Amino acid sequence: MKKIHGIGASKGYAIGKLTLCVNIDDHIQKRSITDIPAELSRLDAAKDAAVEALNAIYMKAIKRVGEANSMIFQIHIMMLQDEDYFNTIQDAIKNEKVNAEYAVWQAGRQFSEMFSQMEDEYMRGRAADVLDISKRLIRNLDKTLANGLDCLTDRSIVGAVDLMPSETVQMDKNLVLAFVTREGSKSSHSAILARTMGIPAVVGLADGYSELTDGISIIVDGAAGDVILEPDEQTLAQYREKQQEFASYQHELALLKGTKAVTKNGTVIEINANIGHPEDVSMVLENDADGIGLFRSEFLYMESSNFPSEEDQFQAYKKVLEKMGGKRVIIRTLDLGADKQVPYLDIPHEENPAMGYRAIRICLDRQELFITQLRALIRASAFGKLAIMFPMIISVEEVKKIKEIVEKVKKDLTEENIAFAPDFELGIMIETPASVILSDLLAKEVDFFSIGTNDLTQYTLAVDRMNHTISKMFDSRHPAVLRMIEKTAESAKNAGIWVGICGESAADTAMTEFYVKIGISELSVTPSMVLELRKAVQQIEL
Amino acid sequence: MQTFQHIIKDEVGLHARPAGMLVKLASSCSSDISITFESKKVSAKKLFAVMGLCAKRNDEITITVEGENEEADCLQIKEFCEQNL
């Protein structure tokens, strides 16, 4: 028995036989050929089969992950049919007299290199697509290189160096118990798809991956990121029990879809989800959240090489609001600086960025940026139930200034005859001790508070979130933090506004009862925690 | 020879999806169709070449159509650009 450790990318347990996918890189052989026409017709047949398979995957993907996520397979088909790409392969066969597999692999590498050298991040991402289609061609040429996924007959756990999105989405949930990979991160595309599809996964096993051999029995713990090789009877029994508990728990949670988070004495709590990208909305809906309690707008800035335009932002916000169909969506304005930097913002090096030029401080200083975002947000308000939230507030003056700018933007939009909702809510994040101490005054200025417990803990305790040496001292249940939360709730109650929590400790079910007792009416957590939290609320007797 | 200029309005620029649609349409035309952007000229019938232009929103591209059916083909391409790019 041996245990290796990676990143838990999709929770759940699996026990079974490991099927290792062949790593094409190690198996492509260069051979000289004599019959060029025969080699070319092998290539044509492989291409036809690939196009046919991709069409089938496309249809399957639409049903599983929706139209937008499936478009990539249409692109794959067009890439396969690209003249330049295909001519490069044919030329290699004709001129260098090499086998088709080798020619395809060379062309695939050449074209993916071209993409990976491009400036645009989106284009660099296409390098993986070129490799994906090249592998598909090669597997059609040489069946011994066929991916474990294509020829799975028994239920098993799939091991691979890395999984392409096309491979993940094709996985038959009845056959693939879990997957483990050497590469990948929690936010890689395959990890996200695994979570959406509910397949347990451990990624980023790094060197530990080389311990795996085809056919051995393994245990995958997708929450802890553990992979146990050739487990003994005792361990097996232990994990079988965990697996059963998890399954019945998941089943129990699924039954809560469509119910509300109401305590036994009738207090209703809104359980919302935190998202960082418009694509996460499918997870929000899948987990039946009441709304979105924190939509971090940073992705727009981090994914682009320059300031995102008003139109780009508007489209992204609109999309989320429309998909949420009238459920509340709280969008937080730009929270860059500190640990989240983008080069074009050009913030000079700071000794102490957590207390530096960040979030609302940048917005109020560089108002053109702020106004662009506000215009996009307010325009989007016409398409759903929008609330806007401002981070890192430390004074009443800041809030007054923000409201002034918001009014100005509304006036401009009215003059330009652009529609927006008249009644969207404005709120602030409570994440600095200053905002807690002033919460009675701040409450008179806004429609709601949302407590950001991560920063509030860091600033209250003077414990740097990023400093590993003192990470044990970072305690969001510290009495000082709880008093901060209590004081905030009291101020909100006195002013008649609502208050929620969107930091990580909102998901701490041991704290739920305390939060509900002091008058917190909204909790916003990662989508996969929504049902668990709903269950916790339903068990509370006040 | 027919030619026209087009300013890209699509928020993602001439990326995979719009480029793919354009290539598909261009390939169905009998004329030779090319796109010029920043001194690079490529065939509009080749996806990788078109994507390789890296043309973004607000960039101006020049499209040239040459062949027996150039007038009809050019109209089709122009209409497509206005609606989709």
In SS3 terms, A172-207 reads as CCCCEEEEEECCCCCCCHHHHHHHHHCCCEEECCHH
The C-alpha atoms of residue A393 and residue A334 are separated, in whole angstroms, by 13
- Mind telling me the catalytic residues of B? 15
Confidence of residue A24 (pLDDT cuts 50, 70, 90): confident
Tell whether B34 is within 8 A of chain A (Cβ): no
B35 contacts B62 by C-beta, under 8 angstroms: yes
Helix, strand, coil shares of chain A, percent, nearest 5, are: 55, 15, 30
Contact A231, A219 (CB under 8 A): yes
Which helix (DSSP H) or strand (DSSP E) does residue B2 occupy? Answer: strand B2-7
Q: Which pLDDT tens digit goes with each residue over B48-68? A: 889 888 888 888 999 999 999
- Tell me how far apart the 2 most distant CA atoms of chain B are, in Å: 34
Using the Cβ of B71 and the Cβ atoms of chain A, whether some distance falls under 8 Å is answered with no
pLDDT at residue A44, rounded to an integer: 94
| Mean of pLDDT values over B5-20 | 82
| Lookup result for tokens 């391409």 | B77
Q: Does B41 touch chain A (CB under 8 A)?
A: no
Q: Is B40 on the interface with A (CB under 8 A)?
A: no
Distance of CA B1 to the CA centre of its chain: 15
Active-site residue, A21 included: no
- For domain A2-6+154-162+178-183+194-245, give the CATH number: 3.50.30.10
E strand or H helix at A389: strand A385-390
Look at A488 and A78; give whichever has higher pLDDT. A488
pLDDT at position A421: 96
Q: Which CATH superfamily is domain A263-538 in?
A: Phosphoenolpyruvate-binding domains (3.20.20.60)
Interface test with B, best of A72, A83, A318 (most B CBs within 10 A): A83
CATH topology for B2-84 is Histidine-containing Protein; Chain: A; (3.30.1340)
Which residue of chain A is at minimal alpha-carbon distance from B22?
A: A78
User: Is the CB of A315 less than 8 angstroms away from the CB of B17?
Assistant: no
pLDDT at B56: 84
What mean pLDDT is predicted for residues A140-169? 75
Question: What whole-number distance in Å separates Cα of residue A197 and Cα of residue A191?
Answer: 10
Let me know if A502 is a catalytic residue. Answer: yes
The chain-wide mean pLDDT, for chain B, equals: 88
- What is the least distance, in Å, from the CA of B3 to any CA of chain A? 23
- How confident is the model over A150-175, as a mean pLDDT? 76
Residue B44: its chain A contacts at CB < 8 A?
none
A84/B contact by beta carbon, under 8 A: yes
Residue A243 burial (10 A CB sphere; 0-12, 13-18, 19+): middle
d(CA A525, CA A511): 13
Nearest to B48 among A72, A84, A120 (CB): A84
Task: Quote the pLDDT of residue A495.
Answer: 97
In angstroms, the CA A336 to CA A247 distance is 39
* Span A22-145 CATH architecture: Orthogonal Bundle (1.10)
Q: Do A84 and B24 touch (CB under 8 A)?
A: no
What residue has token string 């005792």?
A: A234
Query: ipTM exceeding 0.95?
Result: no
What confidence category does residue A160 fall into, taking pLDDT thresholds of 50, 70 and 90?
A: confident
Kindly state whether A83 is in contact with chain B, defined as any CB-CB distance less than 8 angstroms.
yes
Higher pLDDT pick, A186 / A537: A537
What average pLDDT does range A302-326 have in this prediction? 89
Provide the pLDDT confidence category of residue A458 given band limits of 50, 70 and 90.
very high
Among chain B residues, the shortest Cα distance to A127 is held by B48
C-alpha B3/C-alpha B64 separation (Å) is 4
User: pTM value?
Assistant: 0.63
Burial of A153 (0-12, 13-18, 19+ CB in 10 A): exposed
In chain A, residues under CATH classification 3.50.30.10 are 2-6+154-162+178-183+194-245
Q: Is A257 a residue whose pLDDT tops 90?
A: yes
Is the pLDDT score of A443 beyond 80?
yes
Q: Which of chain A's residues have a Cβ under 8 Å away from the Cβ of B28?
A: none
- For A379-401, write each residue's pLDDT tens digit: 999 999 999 999 999 999 999 99
Task: Find the catalytic residue in A21, A76, A363, A502.
Answer: A502
Q: Where in chain A is the domain with CATH 1.10.274.10?
A: 22-145
Q: What is the mean pLDDT of residues A454-463?
A: 95
To the nearest whole Å, the CA of A77 is away from the closest chain B CA by 10
Assess contact for A107 and A134: CB atoms under 8 A: yes
B1 touches chain A (CB under 8 A): no
The confidence score (pLDDT) of residue A187 equals 59
Burial of B7 (0-12, 13-18, 19+ CB in 10 A): exposed
Chain B touched by A88 (CB under 8 Å): no
Question: How open is the CA angle A49-A53-A58, to the nearest 5 degrees?
Answer: 150
Instruction: Find the residue in B nearest to A71 (Cα).
Output: B17
Residues of B in contact with A79 (CB under 8 A): 47-48
> B55: distance to nearest CA of chain A, Å?
10
- Could you tell me how many CB contacts below 8 A there are between chain A and chain B? 47
For testing contact with chain A, the best of B48, B53, B54, B59 (most A CBs within 10 A) = B48
Contact status of A82 with chain B (Cβ, < 8 Å)? yes
Residue A88 DSSP SS3: helix
For residue A106, pLDDT beyond 80: yes
Kindly report the nearest CA distance between residue A427 and chain B, in angstroms: 30
Higher pLDDT, A56 or A305: A56
- Residue of higher predicted confidence among A128 and A95: A95
Averaged pLDDT score across all residues of chain A = 89
Q: Is A126–B51 a contact, with Cβ atoms under 8 angstroms apart?
A: yes
As a whole number of angstroms, the distance between CA A256 and CA A251 comes to: 9
How far apart are the C-alpha atoms of A329 and A25, rounded to whole Å? 45
Residue given tokens 């988070």 in the structure block: A261
Mutate to test the interface with B, among A74, A84, A134 (most CBs of B within 10 A): A84
Q: Are A17 and A216 in contact (CB under 8 A)?
A: yes
Q: Which residue of A has its CA nearest to B19?
A: A75
Residue-level pLDDT at A321: 97
DSSP character for A32?
A: B
Q: Would you say A457 and A301 are in contact if contact means Cβ atoms under 8 Å apart?
A: no
What is the C-alpha to C-alpha distance for residues B76 and A340, in angstroms, rounded to an integer? 45
| The pLDDT of residue A516 | 97
- Quick check: A123 and B54 CB within 8 A? yes
Confidence at residue A435, expressed as pLDDT on a 0 to 100 scale:
98
Domain boundaries, chain B: 2-84
Burial A75-104, CB ≥16 within 10 A → b, else e: bbbbbbbbbbbbebbbebbeeeebbbbbbb
Catalytic residue among A21, A76, A189, A363: A189
Position A334 scores a pLDDT of: 93
